[in-house]
Amino acid sequence: MNAPVESPATSERPAATAAAGATPALDDIGPVRIWRRPSVWIAVALVVILAAGVFAWRSRQQAAAAPAYVTEAVTRGNLSIAVTANGTLQPTRTVNIGSELSGTVTRVLVDVNDRIKKGQVLVELDTSKFGDQVARSRATVASATAKVAQTVATVKEAESSLARLKEVARLSGGKVPSKTELDAAQASFERAQADEAAARASVVETRAVLSTDETNLSKASIKSPIDGIVLTRTVEPGNAVAASLQAVTLFTIAEDLTKMKLQVNVDEADVGMVEMGQNASFTVSAYPARRYPAKITRVAFGSTITDNVVTYITYLEVENTDLSLRPGMTATATIRATERRDVLLVPNTALRFTPTSPDAGAAAAAKGGGIVSSLIPRGPARAPRVATAATGSAAARRVWVLRDGQPVAIAIKPGASDGRMTEVTSAELEPGMLVITDQRAAASS
């Protein structure tokens, strides 16, 4: 502490008195009060400045620790749920042309991409062998016909003999001829009739053989059974064609390429949403920027298993009036399985969002004590999740919106979802309201 200030009277006292060791009177020394001491005011000022600095620092820390919310507006619109499947394009009807006969190809009259008509000759085989077979069969028919004429004459002869013997027996009163002769004549007549019947059957048989040989001769010229376009050709002049249990395929013909079908494999998880009559679209690698319309015509009940993946074959009807699509092209189809019109839509991220406690950092700081504890460095506090009774699927039955800077839960009933947006119904939620999709820590200054 500072020494007391001397009064003028005291300073004028003789030095002898001081030297003599005389003690000054207590009344002569005035007391100095504590609030008049400069050191006290300096200490108070330092404490106030330090407290203000700590308060400002803590305010900045709390502001920096306050969460920042990412929001997105609720909209009203249309929702389309699509099923994606891959497959190949095929003609609506394909015919494989083969040969029922064995022989050597003499001429091939069409080529790939040629348009053909029903009955048009495509390939001709060597007909020399088939012509000989027809000639032989015709000769056999002529021989059988002559045999019929022979047997007819024999029948007439046997009938006349039998009639004469019967007349003689009548005139002689049964004395001549003998009964044996009459029986023999009757047997000859019946035998002649049987020979005639056999000869006539032989004619029918030989004519059938002739018809077969003539058919084979006509089949040596292979004709188209339909109108269409040639897709593939696997035969050349001079090739030997060997007929077997399964006819060799010489051509593949598509009936009409202006109408095609798309065969896709729908995954077992999606097949429940696919039905006949649903609209779809698809793209092909040749025209990646163009989408072709299609419609489902059939969904197979039988499954196909490939690498332990179960799929169901689904057929789609495709218009190809400009012939830009070709059989065998790989296509990626998008089937519009569900359509929702004018519904309330929220992003799926809002359904998955659950806010963290906004004052977790302050609570952690309050636990440590006062100003002194706030000056001690601490590790980052872990923000606990807001307690909720809704778990699992029930957690998706509410969304969070901002009210006065705080997240507030609103009950909803979710519906169809396309993977990004979900249809919801709610008594409180309206279009334009901002739902929280994410929460981020604010950047420190």
- The whole-number pLDDT of residue 3 equals 42
Tell me what the mean pLDDT of segment 340-347 comes to.
Answer: 90
| Contact of 351 with 422, CB cutoff 8 Å | yes
Residues 106, 236, single domain; the answer is yes
Residue 206 identity: T
Other C-beta atoms closer than 10 Å to the C-beta of 150 total 14
Instruction: Name which of 344, 348, 343 is nearest 437 in CA terms.
Output: 348
3-state secondary structure of 187: helix
Highest mean pLDDT among 7-21, 64-78, 253-267: 253-267
Residue 124 pLDDT class (50, 70, 90 cuts): very high
The DSSP secondary-structure symbol of 142 reads: H
Higher pLDDT, 7 or 345: 345
Residue 202: which of 150, 148, 136 has the closest Cα? 148
Which of 316, 340, 364 is the C-terminal boundary of a domain? 340
Residue 42's pLDDT is: 81
> Are 401 and 433 within 8 A, CB to CB?
yes
CATH code of the domain covering residue 306? 2.40.30.170
Residue 38 to residue 17: CA distance in whole angstroms: 33
**H helix count then E strand count, the chain:** 8, 20
Q: What is the pLDDT of residue 390?
A: 36
Nearest residue to 124 via CA among 214, 209, 213, 217: 217
pLDDT in tens, 366-386: 444 444 444 444 444 443 333
**Same domain for 245 and 385?**
no
Question: From CA 137, how far away is CA 202, in angstroms rounded?
Answer: 12
CATH of the domain at 113: 2.40.50.100
Same domain for 107 and 138, yes or no, is no
Domain identity same for 306 and 328 = yes
Q: Is residue 13 part of a domain?
A: no
**One domain, residues 168 and 118:** no
DSSP letter, residue 405: T
437 lies in the same domain as 350: yes
Percent of the chain with pLDDT over 70: 80
The token pair at 409 is 């839960």
Name the 3-class secondary structure at 32.
Answer: coil
Inter-residue contact 338 to 417 (CB < 8 Å): no
Return d(Cα 226, Cα 91) in angstroms, integer.
14
Of 219, 243, 274, the residue at which a domain comes to its end is: 219
Residue 30 lies in a domain: no
Model pLDDT, residue 380: 43
Q: How far apart are the first and last CA of the chain?
A: 45
Residue 267 is encoded by which pair of tokens? 């995954």
User: Is 417 a domain residue?
Assistant: yes
Per-residue pLDDT at 126 exceeds 80? yes
Q: What are phi and psi of 35, to 5 degrees?
A: -75, -10
Shared domain check, 437 and 352: yes
If one compares 289 and 390, the residue with the highest pLDDT of the two is 289
Rounded Cα gap, residues 243 and 220, in angstroms: 12
The number of domains in the chain is: 4
Strands (E), 92-151: 94-99, 103-108, 115-116, 121-125
Segment among 16-20, 305-309, 349-353, 411-415 with least mean pLDDT: 16-20
Within a domain: 198: yes
Q: What is the mean pLDDT of the chain?
A: 81
270 and 206 together in one domain? no
pLDDT at 20: 42
**What's the pLDDT score for residue 40?**
72
Predicted TM-score (pTM) of this structure: 0.58
Alpha-carbon distance of 253 to 227, in angstroms, equals 9
pLDDT at 89: 95
Q: Which of 294, 316, 340 is the last residue of a domain?
A: 340
Query: Is 349 inside any structural domain?
Result: yes
Judged on CB neighbours under 10 Å (0-12, 13-18, 19+), 74 is buried
Whether residues 249 and 115 share a domain: the answer is yes
Domain containing 401 equals 55-78+345-441
Q: Does pLDDT of 207 surpass 70?
A: yes
3-state class percentages of the chain: helix first, strand second, coil last, to nearest 5: 35, 35, 30
pLDDT of residue 63: 59
Residues in the chain: 445
Q: What is the pLDDT of residues 49-92, one digit of tens each?
A: 888 887 877 777 665 656 778 888 899 998 888 899 999 999 99
Residue 27 domain-assigned? no
Model confidence over 134-167: pLDDT tens digits?
999 999 999 999 999 999 999 999 999 999 988 9
* Residue 397 domain-assigned (yes or no): yes
Give CA–CA dist 152/157, Å, rounded.
9
36 pLDDT exceeds 90? no
Q: How many degrees, rounded to 5, is the angle at CA 23 between CA 20 and CA 24?
A: 120
Find the mean pLDDT for residues 293-304. Answer: 94
Kindly list the strands in the beta sheet with 248-254, ordered across the sheet, starting from the edge strand earlier in the chain. Answer: 94-99, 248-254, 228-233, 115-116
167 and 213 in one domain? yes
